Amino acid sequence: MKNVLEARQAGVNRRKRSFRDYAKYGYRILLGALFRRKVDQCGKLLRVAGGVTVSKAKHARLIIGDNVLLFKDTGFYLDSGEAVIEIGDHTFINRRSEIICKKHVKIGSHCAISWDVAIMDTDIHRIEGSADTKPTVIGDHVWIGNKAIILKGVTIGEGAVVAAGSVVSKDVAPYTLVAGVPAKLVREDVRWHV
């Protein structure tokens, strides 16, 4: 498996890059440097590909790891003073995805968050007799398909895949594929590659 990944990476490294590719990469690095002002803690080589919304209450914290890529129209909504959003190294969040947090949302390293995904640790509005917020944790190397919704209190295990359009309301075991509304186990022992 390691040899396959090394061979694939070598092929990517040999790809001929145009001046336009380098200019786009440089522009994303520049936007990332400007975006750092909105972040409480940030690793190296943050890349931003367009406007990103950050709505933060006083004392809320946005923590971003190394080599993170944020695409256009991504939104971070930290709706209380104790809200913390953490994003691990080498993770990318695609267009129009939103993270809504009142307490704690943690996304691991090497994750692929597709476009139009909603991740939240709150119901936004409180329903009597239930907790209005519970931490949401997404493990390392998780792939979340487009238009999926990850609800409060969910833990998604390492290497898991969430199919497009799924609504995840319960924990997802590591290295499994879930799909549907509500999301249910489709396959076990899943491995995915970029």
- What pLDDT score was predicted for residue 2? 52
User: Which is catalytic among the residues 59, 90, 110, 125?
Assistant: 125
Q: Is 141 a catalytic residue?
A: no
Higher-pLDDT residue of 2 and 148 is: 148
Q: Per-residue pLDDT tens for 97-141?
A: 999 999 999 999 999 999 999 999 998 877 777 778 999 999 999
What DSSP string describes 54-66? EEE-TT-EEEE-T
Banded pLDDT at 147 (limits 50, 70, 90): very high
Q: Residue 92 and residue 108: Cα distance in Å, rounded? A: 11
Q: Residue 47 and residue 31: Cα distance in Å, rounded? A: 7
Banded pLDDT at 7 (limits 50, 70, 90): low
Q: Per-residue pLDDT tens for 33-87?
A: 999 999 999 999 999 999 999 999 999 999 999 999 999 999 999 999 999 999 9
- What pLDDT score was predicted for residue 75? 96
pTM of the model as a whole: 0.86
The terminus-to-terminus CA distance of the chain in angstroms comes to: 14
What DSSP string describes 137-194? EE-TT-EE-TT-EE-TT-EE-TT-EE-TT-EE-S-B-TTEEEETTTTEEEEES-----
If phi > 0 it is left, if psi is from -120 to 50 it is alpha, else beta; for residue 71 that is: beta
Q: Residue 116 and residue 52: Cα distance in Å, rounded? A: 14
